[in-house]
Structure 1
Amino acid sequence: MDHPVKKQPADVVGARNVTGWLVFHPTHFPLEDIPFQDIALALLPPSMEMEPTKVPSEGGLNVTLTIRLLMHGKEVGSIIGKKGETVKKMREESGARINISEGNCPERIVTITGPTDTIFKAFAMIAYKFEEDIINSMSNSQATSKPPVP
């Protein structure tokens, strides 16, 4: 099965910063189909992949990661929420810095920066928001849908 989280090479910037790209598309749900290990591996720098003993634990290395999610404008609107309330809540609850590129292109970039645990929290919150939106749209479309015209 092809997973929506694609591992991309991460560049180590200095000793404590890692940058990587994830292409995220909300139609690849439910989340249970994405093994947690795939998400974790996508966030690790290449030097850490084969040496699990180097993975920082709590109280270990203080590594700041940056991931970028490429999304359509509609999905970004869902993350922002009315008057920015949804993204504000995600920032506060996850502890990650979440920045969204300007809306002058059909696709926008959501940048999430912070320690690994905050990135996991923010990414999970975004993914669950999309899953919630999909479930809501399916229940709304079933309630208002008309039978197909032959």
Structure 2
Amino acid sequence: MPILEVEHLKKYFPVTSGVFLRQTGAVHAVDDVSFTVARGETLGIVGESGCGKTTLGRCIMGLHSPTSGKIRLEGESMGKLSVSQRKAFAAKVQMIFQDPYESLNPRQTVRQILEEKFRIHGRPAATLEDDVHGVLNQVNLDADCLLKYPHEFSGGQR
């Protein structure tokens, strides 16, 4: 069974005009997208700027309500998931934006950014230091990077 199924997903945004903001049309941000993701697979969504990648991701994450179509997580309709089930799903799924400036909080140091992610995923406070240093080792960065802010890194380091 796929972990994620998206069937005929559509997301249209209304176009309004006039004093009374009457709907005069719609922007078809996502139009009839279908795919499945098996457990252990990674999905990358690529395309031109403005083609609906972020809107698709936001629909999957539950941040936008689809105009039509189905999104199922482990066979269960996303619309039927409880708040706690949605939070558990969001903790396992991540959207990575192509612009690192949108992905990293510019007011937090690397240490703060990493520690926050580990806390969100329920890591014990006693292991935070080891967890953070483990991530740095995986990406070949020195411990002095923990005190830096995102803008202090080169494009490749971000």
TM-score normalised by structure 1 residue count: 0.30
More helix by proportion, 1 or 2?
Answer: 1
**TM-score, structure 2 length as denominator?**
0.29
